Amino acid sequence: MRPFKTAGIVLGGALLSLGVVERPAQALTTPQIVASSLSTQCLDYQVIGICVWLNCSWSGCSIRTSVQVRHYVPELVVSSYENTGDNPWWEVASLSPPLGEALAGGQSTSDVSRAQHEHLRFKNVDAIGHPAGEAFSSFASAFGMTCAGAATPFQPYHLSTLDALAWRSGIPESLYPEALTPGMRELGQPGDLWGNIYPRSGFLTQVHDYKTAATTAQRSADVVTRTGQPHVYTRLVAASRDGYWPPGPVKEGDASTHRWQRLTPNMSNACRVWPDRGVTDTYADRLDAGGDYAWSLWRPYRCCQRRGQTLLYAVP
């Protein structure tokens, strides 16, 4: 489904008009998100082979080659947060006020006593096109040829408030085999289960707030990078062509489809798939008292410069 045709343009323009509005001291801002994209660790630029082209003209045909590269591109800012309208990305939150007590979220870490274990939690999730745009392109081009990502800056790809039926009820995915079969499509590692990917809703049985937020963010990315899903969203899917190979759908634990960069709390310059620490780690330094989190979703692209009409083969 594509319900947000012009929303990215409207959102981008509206963000520019908010510069005079006072913001909270700890809010995540667009300039901070753009700056975070200038990370060589997350870019992970590599020359991986060559492309062999057949180039033909009126004088005959010749074989030409070009370098094949692979690198990651920041495509989405995925926010997983407590209450409707409280997106930690300040400019986005300013455009989406709370909709009422009935549409609030789950329970934040500050609301749960150590003696009380709150198992069922809920998170709103927004997946919006990464705002880096030209700044990232200029940064990446210093390494050589770069591949274009598929996302449009500031374009809303998934807003859980507009996907309320599926995100709050789990219908129809609660009946899918992935939701009913233990061990199928789960985020975690042996001895450290973060949560099941299906049903891809905002509710999760999990005592750890950071793992809850990460799992719901993973669910949203799972939806957005696939076609024909029973959700209200705009798909983020690119078609391959000669000399251009976009990534496949996001799959939990698979770095060949994606990596995550933490934006808040405690912004990081590194990108990882989850889980990214040992089984016994508490992730205490990543907990947010208000229950609000945000990450950049980076995805890997491969490409080479077109030097002919037909791609004969690519190595590797």
Which tens digits make up the pLDDT trace of 101-150? 435 555 544 444 444 456 899 999 999 999 999 999 999 999 999 999 99
Q: How many helices (H) and strands (E) does the chain have?
A: 8, 12
123: amino acid identity, one letter? K
Residue 115 pLDDT = 42
Tell me which residue of 230, 233, 235, 199 sits closest to 216, measured CA to CA: 199
Residue 112 vs residues 120, 131, 207, 208, 209: alpha-carbon distances, Å: 12, 34, 10, 11, 10
**Token reading at 98:** 């709370």
Residue 149 pLDDT = 96
Place of tokens 């690198």: 71
Angle at 130 between CA 274 and CA 45, to 5 degrees: 65
Tell me which residue of 84, 81, 82 sits closest to 103, measured CA to CA: 84
Residue 94 pLDDT = 66
Tell me which residue of 63, 86, 68, 118 sits closest to 294, measured CA to CA: 86
Residues of the chain with pLDDT under 50: 6, 9-10, 14, 16-20, 100-102, 108-116
Tell me which residue of 156, 148, 125, 150 sits closest to 15, measured CA to CA: 156
Instruction: Compute the distance between CA of residue 179 and CA of residue 182 in angstroms, rounded to an integer.
Output: 8
* Percent of the residues in the chain that have a pLDDT greater than 70, as a whole number: 84
| 316 within 8 A of 302, measured Cβ to Cβ | no
Instruction: Compute the distance between CA of residue 77 and CA of residue 133 in angstroms, rounded to an integer.
Output: 13
CB atoms closer than 10 angstroms to residue 46: 14
Residue 65 vs residues 54, 68, 143, 310: alpha-carbon distances, Å: 9, 9, 19, 11
| 154 within 8 A of 89, measured Cβ to Cβ | no
For strands 186-189 and 192-196, give the pairing.
antiparallel
pTM for this structure?
0.88
| 216 within 8 A of 170, measured Cβ to Cβ | no
| Beta bridge partner(s), residue 195 | 187
Place of tokens 């496949």: 248
| 154 within 8 A of 175, measured Cβ to Cβ | no
